[in-house]
Structure 1
Amino acid sequence: MNPDLLYLVKANVVLTLFVAAYYGLLRQLTFFQLNRFYLVAAALFAAVYPSVSVPALLPASAASMVAASAWGALPAPPESPPTGPLAVNWQVHLLRGYCLGAGLLVGQLLVQLLSLALVRRRARPAVVLGQPVRLLREAKGSFSFGRSIYVSEAAVADPAALAPELRHEQAHVRQWHTLDVLLAQLTTALAWFNPAVWLWRRAVLENLEYLADRATVQSGLERRAYQYSLLRQQPGRVPAPALAFRFSASELKKRIARLNQPSSPRRQVYRYVLAAPTVMALALGHSGARARPGALLERDRGLPVEALYYLDGQASDRATIQRLAPQDIRSVDWVEGAAAVRRVVATPPFQQAVVVTTNAQAESRVVRELADRADLGSGYHIRALPVEALLPACLAYVAEHYPRARLSGEVREYTKKSTGAAKLQVQLVIGESFFYVYFLPNGEFLRGEEQ
């Protein structure tokens, strides 16, 4: 799978698990600060998780073998520019659709920020009821964004109604709630296709209102008087700019119910210990399992019936391979195509070969001989290189022989364990298709028979 698409899938699956745990275990609790931390941590963990390696579950030696296992299935590079699609990548269409949606939403966010900047420019500083504010001529009501509270000049004429509004907005400002809002908007823009992210954003904004309501009451304002002030809000008032907090009656019934809800017993904190660590453990455990070489055998645990099987350099069978414990496997090479299988055995009756090496026999002579003869990935050390590492001769060859192709940025150095001979694999892309060309470290092009 395309690395970018795989990242999106992993991140959104984990975020969905966090959201499910929140709505199932935490939403009804009155630990609003813990809920705030949980929701922010969920988004940050989901964003970082796909890039996290799990060394405790995946030793470095195994990691290199997993990367090497793909070598046996690589197509031979063409000797002339391709005339048709070599590997139609349907995933490109998905990524284009995702980028289009994300770009539109990020653009909308930038427009909203610009709108708020214009509102701030038009407002004039003032002090109302002892609170520094910015006065607006428009009838936008009271709202806040960042460290500023905005009040309409018409609202100043009614100090009794304005006082609870100011205290509510002070709570948003004092607790830096705008940071959460910006994170919520950006996360939603970048994961717009995931229904769970919209539920997550709703939970974030809803919880911030609960925090501000509670802080307002704790500031000394009588609870019943504050509830009446909520009821007096007029839904028809001109709304504040997008992204801004406003003292509004949105979901009024739920907010008043939360104000009157008894505090959750402290023993209910165990739910957070159950929710967040469980989701993280599931995610990291899944990464470790997928990273093990043995996981390559679990592609529906359905090893192909019509395939040639080798175990530790010797002919084997499907049933024997299926009985292996994943932790005992050092590497797995999937070999596709009669020409590639012929390097494993001279007269192959199959189009596929699965070559498995265990930890116990990884360094044995027969295993090394098979890896060399069949040119298997497990016979190489593999290292990713930046495109800048390519010599000008490589770039010149690509420009001359593949003028319609572009470098994908994927360059790998394959060093044969037995001889130390190295070659570079360069991925080229034409339209929605990709293919590989190979060079020696000195820049000399390798034709198919020389590889």
Structure 2
Amino acid sequence: MIAYLIKSGLCIALLLVIYHLFLEREKMHQFNRFFLLFALCFGLITPFLTIDFGFQTSIPVTSFQFTDTASLPTVTEAPAVTNPEKEWPVQKILMAIYGTGVLLFLIRLFSGLFSIFHRINRSDCEHLGTSELVLVTQNIVPHSFLKYIFVNKKAYESGNIENEILVHEQIHVSHKHSLDILFVEVLKIIFWFNPVFYFYKKAIQLNHEFIADELISRQTKNISGYQRILLHHANSNQPFQLVSSFNFSLTKKRFIMMMKNKDPKRTLIKQLFLIPIIGLAVVAFSNHATAQDSTTAAKADTIQTPAPPEPLQPPEMSTEEKKLFDEAGSLYQKVYQEYMSLDPKTTSLKELEAAYKKVKEAAGNVHKVFQEIAGEDEIPPPIKIGLEPEMRKLLSSEKVRKLKSTMESLREKRSRAYKEFTELNPHEISEEKLQQAYSKLQEINKKSHDAVAAYYQVVGQIVPPPPIPPMPPKPDQSK
């Protein structure tokens, strides 16, 4: 558990540093929103991954080795050097501290939710598009949570709430920014001792404001007026930790970002730069399995995991226990080899699922027998059960490769067309030619969107789709 916490914490922290150094100052806020949420999920999942690099390591392991014959699966372990019973008092104290922290943060979350919904129930509400406008009597700064926008009733009825403020909060509502905040709050409950999650929340909330500011800036030509409205509400306090507030983190960052122009080339380069970073993070923070001997790899599966810091010595097996363990191991090896020998291209999904179910049942039986012999408190080593049937089918599909090729080709054409259009000088060519170039870009842009949607509709389980850059201004606006 300690190793997992260290690995996941370092991985999440590394990706946050990458975000602040390379992504935060770029005008690609939707991509950044995806990256921050992805970074949290990626950092929590990666330590569970196991990668076989094809070479032997000298790390002591606890392993099950199932051979071709019906011989008994052997259990070997690194020597234990301490008495685990002495660790129990410390473990109990640490668990009590952790449990107390979880309980306090859980109470804090539900208290915040209760306060918000209590305010909704005792206030007047009005419909505002797809949002609900909550008119409160307290003197508050406008803020939103889920579909609700909270404003001062007196100020709203007297027309003192600027339209830009309401539009700003409607953007938070329509983009479901509250769900991002709730997601981080849940992680903060589980990992309350890790300060990295607090920095993630701040980065996510600031990015939400970037998104809202950018969309407001597109709709109004008076950006300086919008900035004056922000300054007017700068000294108001944010009422709840769970809401999206109009004046959150009112710093020079937001003003600078409003005036900044997007550089498609630079943003694309930085997005591509993330690919090797993610690859290195997988290598650095995943588990590294030792390779099988090349002469027996086709016959046997060796399941190896890093030994625990202080492994327990399994008890000696009697003749009957040895026979029982032998039968369970042989059955597992048989059904696993049968499943892995099935060709996903020619085998139906139903047949794959039936074979995969047998593998899971056989692996579970090995664990059950192991615990019957070693005791319920002994945690058995994990056993490889292979990729799930749907994933094997997906990765072997010719359709996936064709969709990816089409998508990449159209994205490249879109980039070229975008570059050609943005390099045109509207004062040197006719309006007709400018309109033709824009129409061509629109057509390629739509095809590119459709290709991306088609591809990630198929492989969306593996990775969410990258964002496609927005269209440039229309020719009449360029003039």
Change (3 A) 1:293 1:425: farther
Conserved 8 A contact 2:7-2:285: no
Residue 40 of structure 1 corresponds to 37
Task: Give the counterpart letter for 1:197 in structure 2.
Answer: F
Conserved 8 A contact 2:130-2:147: no
Measure the CA separation in 2 of the matches of 1:124 and 1:10. 49
Measured on the aligned residues, the alpha-carbon RMSD in Å equals 4.4
Post-superposition Cα deviations, 1:35-84, rounded to whole Å, max 9, x if no partner, equal 1000000111222223334478799xx97449966546369xxxxxxxx9
Post-superposition Cα deviations, 1:397-435, rounded to whole Å, max 9, x if no partner, equal xxxxxxxxxxxxxx94568xxxxxx9621144xxxxx89
User: SS of the counterpart of 1:290?
Assistant: strand
| Residue correspondence of structure 1 range 39-78 to structure 2 within 5 A | 39-54=36-51, 64-65=64-65, 70-71=76-77, 73=79
Conserved 8 A contact 1:380-1:414: no
Equivalent of 1:278, from 273, 276, 279?
A: 276
Give the helix-richer structure, 1 or 2: 2
Measure the CA separation in 1 of the matches of 2:375 and 2:141. 60
2:424 equivalent to 1:424: no
Change (3 A) 1:131 1:26: closer
| Residue correspondence of structure 1 range 359-438 to structure 2 within 5 A | 412=367, 424-428=373-377
Conserved 8 A contact 1:412-1:424: no
Residue 138 of structure 1 corresponds to 138
Residue 408 of structure 1 corresponds to none
Cα deviation, residue 270, structure 1: 2.2
Change (3 A) 1:159 1:93: same
Task: Give the counterpart letter for 2:22 in structure 1.
Answer: L
Measure the CA separation in 1 of the matches of 2:374 and 2:264. 60
User: SS of the counterpart of 2:253?
Assistant: helix
Residue 126 of structure 1 corresponds to 126
Post-superposition Cα deviations, 1:310-360, rounded to whole Å, max 9, x if no partner, equal xxxxxxxxxxxxxxxxxxx998999xxxxx9xx9xxxxxxxxxxxxxxxxx
Cα deviation, residue 124, structure 1: 1.6
- How many residues are matched? 313
2:52 equivalent to 1:103: no
Equivalent of 1:14, from 5, 8, 11?
A: 11
Cα deviation, residue 26, structure 1: 1.2
User: SS of the counterpart of 1:49?
Assistant: helix
Post-superposition Cα deviations, 1:245-274, rounded to whole Å, max 9, x if no partner, equal 122263333211211222234333222222
Cα deviation, residue 158, structure 1: 4.8
Measure the CA separation in 1 of the matches of 2:174 and 2:164. 15
Residue 251 of structure 2 corresponds to 252
Equivalent of 2:28, from 22, 31, 36?
A: 31
Measure the CA separation in 1 of the matches of 2:219 and 2:153. 25
2:207 equivalent to 1:207: yes
Cα deviation, residue 5, structure 1: 3.3
Change (3 A) 1:130 1:414: closer
Measure the CA separation in 1 of the matches of 2:184 and 2:97. 21
Conserved 8 A contact 1:71-1:333: no
Give the strand-richer structure, 1 or 2: 1
Cα deviation, residue 238, structure 1: 5.8
Post-superposition Cα deviations, 1:215-249, rounded to whole Å, max 9, x if no partner, equal 122233621110111111151x4643331112226
Post-superposition Cα deviations, 1:136-187, rounded to whole Å, max 9, x if no partner, equal 1222232111011122112214535421110110110111111111112222
Measure the CA separation in 2 of the matches of 1:413 and 1:382. 11
Task: Give the counterpart letter for 1:155 in structure 2.
Answer: A
Change (3 A) 1:63 1:173: farther
User: SS of the counterpart of 1:28?
Assistant: coil
Task: Give the counterpart letter for 2:279 in structure 1.
Answer: A
| TM-score normalised according to structure 2 size | 0.55
Conserved 8 A contact 1:57-1:288: no
| Residue correspondence of structure 1 range 210-249 to structure 2 within 5 A | 210-220=210-220, 222-233=222-233, 235=235, 237=236, 239-248=238-247
Residue 178 of structure 2 corresponds to 178
Change (3 A) 1:88 1:219: same
Task: Give the counterpart letter for 1:290 in structure 2.
Answer: H
Conserved 8 A contact 2:142-2:165: yes
User: SS of the counterpart of 2:151?
Assistant: strand
2:164 equivalent to 1:164: yes
Measure the CA separation in 1 of the matches of 2:233 and 2:75. 65
Post-superposition Cα deviations, 1:334-391, rounded to whole Å, max 9, x if no partner, equal 9xxxxx9xx9xxxxxxxxxxxxxxxxxxxxxxxxxxxx9xx9xxx99879x9xxxxxx
2:149 equivalent to 1:149: yes
Residue 290 of structure 2 corresponds to 292
Measure the CA separation in 2 of the matches of 1:130 and 1:380. 62
Measure the CA separation in 1 of the matches of 2:32 and 2:267. 13
Conserved 8 A contact 2:54-2:291: no
Cα deviation, residue 129, structure 1: 10
Residue 269 of structure 1 corresponds to 268
Change (3 A) 1:333 1:239: closer
* Structure index of larger Rg: 1
Change (3 A) 1:221 1:333: closer
Change (3 A) 1:158 1:224: farther
Further displaced range: 22-31 or 265-274: 265-274
Cα deviation, residue 292, structure 1: 2.1
Residue 355 of structure 2 corresponds to none
| TM-score normalised according to structure 1 size | 0.58
